[in-house]
Amino acid sequence: MSSDLAVPRVSKAGRFEALDALRGVAAISVCLFHVQWVNIFDSLGIISNAWLFVDLFFVLSGFVIAYTYAEKISANPSDVGRFLFKRLARIYPLHIVMLLAFVALEVAKWAAYRYAGVRGDVVPFSINNLETFTTNILLIHSLHTYDVLTWNVPSWSISVEFAIYIVFAIVAAVAAGRAKALTLLSAMAIVLSVSVLMYFAPGRGLHVDVDFGVFRCLLGFFIGVLTYLGWRAMQGRASWSGWKANLLQLSALTACALTISLFGKVAAWQYAVPLFSALAIWSLAVWTNTRTARFLTIPPLRWLGRLSFALYMGHYFVLVVCNNLLRIVHLERFGPVGSLVIGTLLAVVCVCAALILAVLLNRYVEEPCVRAGARWLRRGESGRLTVVEEAAQ
């Protein structure tokens, strides 16, 4: 059956490298947002509201997943299992490694509490216990399972995102290659998510995670799917000159940054973040050779983009370890007993440490597991699989 979702694939040189940079910058911002002591970065709205960058992640994920898999699942619904296995191979190993690291940390906190009298805000193994460990193993810990974040706090987003992967697979299979059907189903998912958030979490905007975070992800992800459909519709039609496209890209990125920075605490404005994110992603994907797009592909930003998932999953461990060490020496927040300068320097040191950890996680966990998963699929299907996972990273 022919599919009207079939589009030419972008070349290796133009495989949305500018979008990788967005992911990297967002990951660094989230890392700074999670710093728990006084530092100068927290006075910047773009950092104090950086939790909204998670919505950029969701939109970007929806765009790239739809680009990579929508046509394949539509053409062959049996590819659903392969798709979910690939995504699991992508996110699960890092999740498990960091979960085990937090188990070791909880044991250390218990020992310090039991034998040295070091007391934290929460009794060891009270929230992070066997039950929450089990739900984390099953990736269901943020599906309205609890009313608090557990273990590796940032992992709440991969819990809800994997659930949305399943929803996307069903939607893509039902759409059966029809762009109009995929558009309609995506719009329905967006309307449903906004309705649930406004009715069950009134006044909170997108400030939901373990309770209604799955609908927050549903919203951003399917905005990303519509963004992909918009990109596909523009193939061969993008006739704007360079300066117009460049202006659109800069305007979209600026609008997204200003909304987060200036209006991030206003519930109604938070819904604009995934929309501006979508516009930025769409414009950068359509016009890949503007000055803005080329700037976003400079080596440092490409490097940061490659490390983004490992940084996102690993940074909180570094910050929690540092915060507990500060508690031991009674300098928890550098507030009444320290200085803003020292706290800021320590924040920079922690970000650098998180980047080093991200390099190690990417090199020894993330990439090897993705390759191992691809090899396993090849063996299971007698070499029939063509791996395109890199495009979805």
Higher pLDDT pick, 382 / 316: 316
CA distance linking residue 287 with residue 241, whole number of Å: 10
CA distance linking residue 291 with residue 284, whole number of Å: 11
Query: What is the model's pTM?
Result: 0.89
State pLDDT tens for residues 175-199: 888 889 999 999 999 999 999 999 9
The per-residue pLDDT for 115 is 80
pLDDT-wise least confident of 74-83, 261-270, 272-281: 74-83
* Nearest residue to 256 (alpha-carbon basis) of 61, 93, 60, 90: 60
What would the two tokens of residue 20 be? 């990788």
**Mean pLDDT (whole number) for 309-338:** 77
The per-residue pLDDT for 84 is 94
CA distance linking residue 388 with residue 79, whole number of Å: 13
The per-residue pLDDT for 351 is 95
pLDDT band at 1 (very low <50, low <70, confident <90, very high): very low
Q: Please say if the pLDDT value at position 14 is more than 60.
A: no
CA distance linking residue 136 with residue 156, whole number of Å: 9
* Nearest residue to 60 (alpha-carbon basis) of 225, 232, 294: 225
**Mean pLDDT (whole number) for 262-284:** 95
**Mean pLDDT (whole number) for 362-390:** 74
CA distance linking residue 344 with residue 28, whole number of Å: 15
The per-residue pLDDT for 114 is 79
pLDDT band at 239 (very low <50, low <70, confident <90, very high): low
| Angle, alpha carbons 184-188-194 (nearest 5°) | 145
Higher pLDDT pick, 339 / 57: 57
CA distance linking residue 173 with residue 75, whole number of Å: 8
The per-residue pLDDT for 378 is 80
Residues 317, 105 contacting (CB under 8 angstroms):
yes
What lies within 8 Å, CB to CB, of 199 at 6+ separation is: none
CA distance linking residue 268 with residue 204, whole number of Å: 8
Q: Please say if the pLDDT value at position 117 is more than 80.
A: no
**Mean pLDDT (whole number) for 342-348:** 90
pLDDT-wise least confident of 150-159, 233-242, 371-380: 233-242
Q: Please say if the pLDDT value at position 368 is more than 70.
A: yes
The per-residue pLDDT for 326 is 78
Higher pLDDT pick, 336 / 378: 378
